[in-house]
Amino acid sequence: MADAADTTESPSYPMPRTCPYAVPDGYRELRERPALAKVRLPSGKLAWAASRYEDVRAMLGDNRFSSDLRHPGFPLLMDHQVPAPEFSTSLVGMDPPEHTLARRAVAGDFTPRSVDRLRPRIQEIVDEYVDRLLDGPRPADLVDAFANPVPLLVICELIGVPFEDREFFLRISFTVMNATTPEAGARGMAELMGYMDKLVTDKEREPTDDVIGRLAARRGEPGVPDHRDLVAMAFMLLMAGHETPANIIGLGVMLLLDRPDLLKTLRDDPSRWPAAVNELLRYFTIAEIANSRVALADVELGGARIAAGEGILGLTVAANRDPERFADPDVFDIDRVEQRHLAFGYGVHQCLGQHLVRIELETALATLFARIPDLRLVEPVEKLRFKEEHVNYGLHALPVTW
Ligand code: HEM
């Protein structure tokens, strides 16, 4: 059984991808080790890394592993990354039983039936941005002109940003997410949090028909956030729900333009889009670092003993290409028999937005390819710039023309 002293050959994490479609070579090596190993984080600290499908699922399903980002043993990539209180107190950073109540309070808004009501509005948003793309210059950057704004506007619907504030909201969200200096980031963040505070205050005075407005109207019920936590939740939904779908839209368009055979299959039979979206989620598994935990007790997992207080990463990118679980895991196959991947995590924190995001991705991709049939890449895939340095995998830009 491996233990804490077994640190001699700890590979560095994150590991770079050598090809846009391949997962880092080091993941295979980690997966094939007889027992769980440790990796070295950019902070210099070590953390356990689960990489086999069964191990990652077992870890994420085990409440002895905590999501408390403020715990001193939590495997943050960098020490200075100590998360803002606005983020750590909202769902993602909570453990049961506190998490159970808080999640129950909001879960009703994210069921397949609830989010299905947003379908017509999502279609309108997508159509508007396809119109803008068609009216704009060629070539265009699909990330900037389509993949980024569409999910942001869907979040606006969800948290109820009034129509007249949307341009401001889009601008300030981009400032925060793309700030090049800590000062610019802090300034943008203060402005964004100020806006969220006002948004929540307005909804408390006059509740509106959206996730935040409905919660504001239920103040005092078990698990329903107070003012400060409601501001935190609006911010968390923006953070959790914007970049991730944007990344999949960009990567999905790239892959499909690179695979005309697949695109033809989808055009001939649009009922295959849900399967294609599910496979895109597995294949790219863009949000791996979200599955980090810290052990609250000694736990035996994957042939190792994780001591209480040690950090552990759930490497879902590796798990979703585990040949023990998925036949020919490196092949993009929309007819795959085993479809239950871990791209949305697993266990109590499994992505709350997953039904919404599937609608969003299906609508965005199907509409884009139907309305711009001769869409094509301007550069070969090898020349594109990927977010290697970010925690979520995606494209910086995707030049396209038609
Ligand atoms: C392709 C898009 C997305 C991916 C790959 C993704 C992935 C994930 C993952 C892996 C987790 C689990 C984190 C953990 O175990 O600690 C998670 C949680 C979460 N996601 Fe997503 N997500 C996506 C889109 C969204 C969207 C659009 C929203 C909201 C509108 C959203 C809201 C959330 C929330 C609130 C949680 C926390 C749930 C909890 O802690 O109980 N996600 N997501």
- The residue-averaged pLDDT of 271-297 equals 96
**CATH label of the domain that carries residue 255:** 1.10.630.10
Give the ligand 1 atom nearest the CA of 286.
5
Residue 81's pLDDT is what?
Answer: 62
Whether residue 393 is contained in a domain is answered as yes
66 lines ligand 1 (CB under 6 A): no
- Order of strands across the sheet that contains 311-314: 37-40, 46-50, 311-314, 292-295, 65-66
Percentage above 70 pLDDT, the chain: 95
Whether residue 9 is contained in a domain is answered as no
Whether residue 15 is contained in a domain is answered as no
Residue 334 has pLDDT above 70, yes or no: yes
CA–centroid distance, 76 to ligand 1, in Å, is: 18
273 lines ligand 1 (CB under 6 A): no
CA–centroid distance, 239 to ligand 1, in Å, is: 9
Beta bridge partners of 311: 294
295 lines ligand 1 (CB under 6 A): no
Residue 348 has pLDDT above 50, yes or no: yes
CA 377 to the chain's CA centroid: 25
352 lines ligand 1 (CB under 6 A): yes
Whether residue 149 is contained in a domain is answered as yes
List, for residues 130-179, the tens digit of each pLDDT value: 999 999 999 999 999 999 999 999 999 999 998 889 888 888 887 777 77
Whether residue 16 is contained in a domain is answered as no
391 lines ligand 1 (CB under 6 A): no
List, for residues 302-312, the tens digit of each pLDDT value: 999 999 999 99
Lowest mean pLDDT among 5-9, 68-72, 242-246: 5-9
Beta bridge partners of 40: 12, 46
Domain range enclosing 40: 25-401
Give the ligand 1 atom nearest the CA of 155.
30
Number of structural domains the chain divides into:
1
394 lines ligand 1 (CB under 6 A): no
Whether residue 78 is contained in a domain is answered as yes
Whether residue 8 is contained in a domain is answered as no
- Going by CA atoms, what residue is nearest to atom 26 of ligand 1? 241
Give the ligand 1 atom nearest the CA of 67.
16
CA atoms within 13 A on the CB side of 97: 1
Enter the DSSP assignment of 307. Answer: P
Closest CA to 50 of 34, 64, 37, 33: 37
- Do 242 and 173 form a contact (C-beta atoms < 8 A)? yes
Whether residue 5 is contained in a domain is answered as no
